[in-house]
Structure formats: C-alpha cells, structure tokens
Amino acid sequence: MTIATTSRKASRSLVQHAPVLAFALAGTAVVLLALAPLGWRAGWWHFRVSLLTLLPWAAYFGVAALIVSAVTIVLGPSRIGWRGIAIAAAAFAIGALIAYVPWHYDQLRRTVPPIHDITTDAEHPPTFSAAIAALRTEEHDNATAYDGSKLAELQRQAYPDIAPLIVSLAPDAAFNRALDTARQMGWTIVAADDKSGEIEASDQSRWMGFTDDIVIRVAKADAGSRIDLRSSSRLGRSDFGVNAARVRAYLARLRADAAG
C-alpha cells in the first residue's frame, strides 16, 4: 500500500512539473534559434555552426517541447489545473513555431538546386568590378567568376523563366529606370556607370545578415534596350532560392515601371 501510494505521488508530481519542463524546452529552443544569427553576426563562430548545429538543435528542443506539452495536455489536465494547461499550451505554440523554422529551410533546401549564382545571361554573364571582387575575397568564400555550363544547366532546369528583359526604351532611359528600380528594391548601390551601362549593388538578408552582390547590365537592342541581371551570394554553396527570387522580383518591378 505504501509503495503504491508513493508511486502515485511521484507520478502526480511528475505530471504537475511537466508544463514547466515543456516551457523550459521551448525556451531553450528560442535561445538556440536566436543565437544562430547573433553569434554569426558578432563573429563568435562560422555561419555553418549556426546553420548546421544551432538550427537543428533548436528544432530538436522545439519538437521535445511539442511532445511534452501535448502529452501533458492530453493525459493530465485534471492534475495540472488551468495554469498548467496555459503554460503547456504556450510551450506547444512556441515549440511548434521554433521547430517550423529549421524544418522550412530544410524543405526549401531540398526543392532548389545547390547553387548560389543566378543570371539572365549564362553564356555571357554580367561581371563584377574589382571593388566587388575585393569585398568577396575578404569573405574568404565565393569568387566572382561564373562557374560555367554546369551551373547554367542547373539554373535552366530549376528556373527556366529567368531571362533577359527587353524594354522599348533608349539605353540611357533604360539605365535610369533600372537604377531607380534597384533603389526601390532597397538595395545598396555600390557603383553606377551610365557610360558602360552597368550598375552594381548589394543586398543583405534580414535574419542571418548574409550579403549578396548584384550587377545589372543595360545594352542597346534592336527593339530598345536589353537588361541583364546577375545576383550572387558571397557565402555558401546553396542560396535556398533567394537569388532567383530576387532576380524575378526585380525584373517584374522593372517591367511594370517600364510599361508605366
């Protein structure tokens, strides 16, 4: 009888503390997810530590919070009271949100090719200036040279819609429109030369703070002007589709501006 009573008390105590455990797991997941960009931006570790270690562990703790809180809510509502249910529900919501972020990026990585350089002209891609090349060299990762036919084939298979834009504007007017559109995109303009028809800019991701470089080339065409674009990540072999999305968004806005 004493053993059974003790066992019931231990079980009741465990259930009563389960909401706090779930919330602690969720809190740990939040800290790990927050440390991923903070540590990289502060220079405490390489970005791969954030992406390959902190994000997975944030997901693990988030899933653990999900499981503990769900089991607690289902099996022990009468033992934990409304306060315990509220804590467990909060842990469930936080755990789900934190677990979703790494899961989303992992699913996205599986659906896009492992490339970091997107251009509208794979045969003669716009080139980066020496100034941009120097900045990329400082990052000790991706060079400015285009990787060639293999990269072009991967892009063609994944993003067949990305192509040069032909506008019915003279080169000087097209250049000004292209520059205005780049500014509207919120990019940092690095250089703009109306004589060569080239514009260089950079864009930084909000979360991890990765910098991508962009070069725009405006040239005369039979029907007006041809505009080519190249967007390339300074770091990493896969961009999770960011550069392709950037190129599409820019061309869509420029097309609308030119038509207007």
User: What residue spans define the domains of the chain?
Assistant: 2-111, 117-259
Contacts with 79 (C-beta within 8 Å, 6 or more apart), sequence order: 12, 15, 16
Query: With a threshold of 0.85, does the pTM exceed it?
Result: no
Phi, psi of 39 (to 5 degrees): -65, -40
Given pLDDT bands bounded at 50, 70 and 90, which one contains residue 4?
Answer: very low
The β-bridge partners of 226 are 166, 219
Of 100, 106, 31, 34, give the one whose Cα is nearest residue 63.
100
Cα distances from 259 to residues 88, 177, 227, 248, in angstroms, run 54, 11, 14, 16
172 or 151, greater pLDDT: 172
Name the CA dihedral angle for 10, 13, 18, 24, rounded to a multiple of 10 degrees. Answer: -110
When the candidates are 3.20.20.70, 3.40.190.10, 3.30.300.130, 3.30.530.50, the CATH number that belongs to 117-259 is 3.30.530.50
pLDDT given for residue 92 in this prediction: 93
Percent over 90 (pLDDT), the chain = 52
- 101 has pLDDT over 50: yes
What residues contact 76, with CB distance under 8 A and at least 6 apart?
Answer: 15, 16, 18, 84
Two tokens, residue 189: 């303009």
Of 142 and 116, which is predicted with more confidence?
116
pLDDT digits (tens, 9 = 90+) for 67-96: 999 988 887 666 667 788 888 899 999 999
Q: SS3 for 201?
A: strand
Residue 40 — pLDDT band, cuts 50, 70, 90? Answer: confident
